[in-house]
């Protein structure tokens, strides 16, 4: 597990990246996504439903139903996925959990963690799924 994201968010990022490398509007059911990412189907279903509710992923019900990207990969930033699943509290609160942590009243790691958090947020805000397509292809093919 990462420092910033829940396991649910990690899976959401992976699932959306997976969908982004597939042909437009190609539909994958939760079992197919689960098999590709090597994670439990029930977990995939829950996360993809959250992303459907947020408008990042679309879904089709029925026998040939499943999930697909609801937007173009160039219109989806990593921060959109993080915001939909975990929210932005990791970028707004103290990493050690101290209340009132600020520049004026810093926690013991505030000066070191602050720039790391800011850089992570900036990267998530800037990176689109389209920009990560080649690296995603290489990673998913090697799972």
pLDDT tens sequence across 3-26 = 679 999 999 999 999 999 987 768
Which domains are assigned to the chain? 7-141 (1.10.10.10)
- The contacts of residue 8 (CB under 8 Å, 6+ apart) are 43, 46, 47, 50, 85, 86
pLDDT tens sequence across 17-74 = 999 998 776 899 999 999 999 999 999 999 999 999 999 999 999 888 999 999 999 9
Does pTM surpass 0.85?
yes
């Amino acid at each position: 597990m990462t420092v910033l994201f829940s396991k649910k968010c990690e899976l959401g990022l992976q699932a959306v990246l997976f969908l982004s490398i597939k042909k437009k509007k190609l539909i994958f059911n939760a079992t197919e996504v689960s098999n590709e990412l090597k994670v439990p189907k029930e977990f995939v279903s829950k996360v993809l439903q959250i992303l459907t509710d947020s408008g990042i992923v679309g879904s089709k019900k029925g026998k040939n139903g499943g999930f697909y990207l609801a937007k173009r990969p160039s219109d989806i930033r990593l921060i959109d996925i993080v915001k939909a699943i975990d929210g932005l509290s990791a970028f707004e609160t103290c990493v050690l959990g101290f209340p009132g942590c600020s520049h004026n009243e810093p926690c013991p790691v505030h000066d070191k963690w602050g720039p790391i958090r800011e850089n992570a947020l900036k990267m998530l805000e800037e990176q689109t799924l389209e920009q990560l397509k080649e690296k995603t292809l290489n990673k998913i093919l090697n799972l």
